[in-house]
């Protein structure tokens, strides 16, 4: 491919780095960035529909940047994408899991405090 063709390709497709993708996501999301599942679903659909490698790479960077700001970032990105493809909302699932764990921890903490108070009274 000639350098002129490369220049045209650069203008048509643009070149996006992971850092630029992160900035685009921050600017594009008008929602809670810790729960971007709907936005990621759109990106995944677009990525699945294209056969252009440069566009797929750009979309992958956008998905990764969005995922990294998500509350679901503790799971593997492949698992995250798979759940989004299934129509699930991994960030919402992660939030519920975290809240449930927090409630259980608080209960255990309260139970432990009650036991200590009982022992002190004896």
Q: Is the model's pLDDT at 16 over the cut of 60?
A: yes
Assess contact for 89 and 37: CB atoms under 8 A: yes
Rounded to the nearest integer, the mean pLDDT of the chain is 79
Residue 27 pLDDT exceeds 70: no
Residue 22 confidence (pLDDT) above 80: no
Query: Domain-by-domain residue ranges, the chain?
Result: 3-121
pLDDT for position 21? 72
What would the pLDDT profile of 93-109 be if each residue is shown by its tens digit? Answer: 988 988 888 888 888 87
Q: Evaluate if residue 61 carries a pLDDT over 80.
A: yes
Give the chain as a DSSP string. --HHHHHHHHHHH----HHHHHHHHHHH--S-TT--HHHHHHHHHHHHH---HHHHHHHHHHHHHHHHTSTTTTS-HHHHHHHHHTT--HHHHHHHHHHHHHHHHHHHHHHHHHHHHHHHH-
């Amino acid at each position: 491919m000639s350098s002129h063709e490369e220049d045209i390709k650069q203008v048509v497709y643009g070149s996006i780095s992971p850092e630029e993708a992160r900035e685009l996501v921050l600017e594009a999301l008008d929602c809670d960035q810790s729960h971007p599942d709907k936005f990621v679903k759109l990106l995944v659909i677009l990525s699945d529909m294209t056969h252009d490698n440069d566009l797929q790479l750009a979309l992958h960077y956008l998905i990764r940047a969005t995922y990294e700001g998500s509350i679901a970032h503790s799971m593997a990105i492949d698992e995250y994408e798979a759940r989004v493809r299934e129509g699930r909302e991994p960030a919402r699932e992660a939030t519920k899991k975290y809240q449930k764990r927090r409630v259980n921890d608080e209960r255990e903490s309260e139970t432990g405090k009650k036991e200590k108070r009982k022992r002190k009274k004896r």
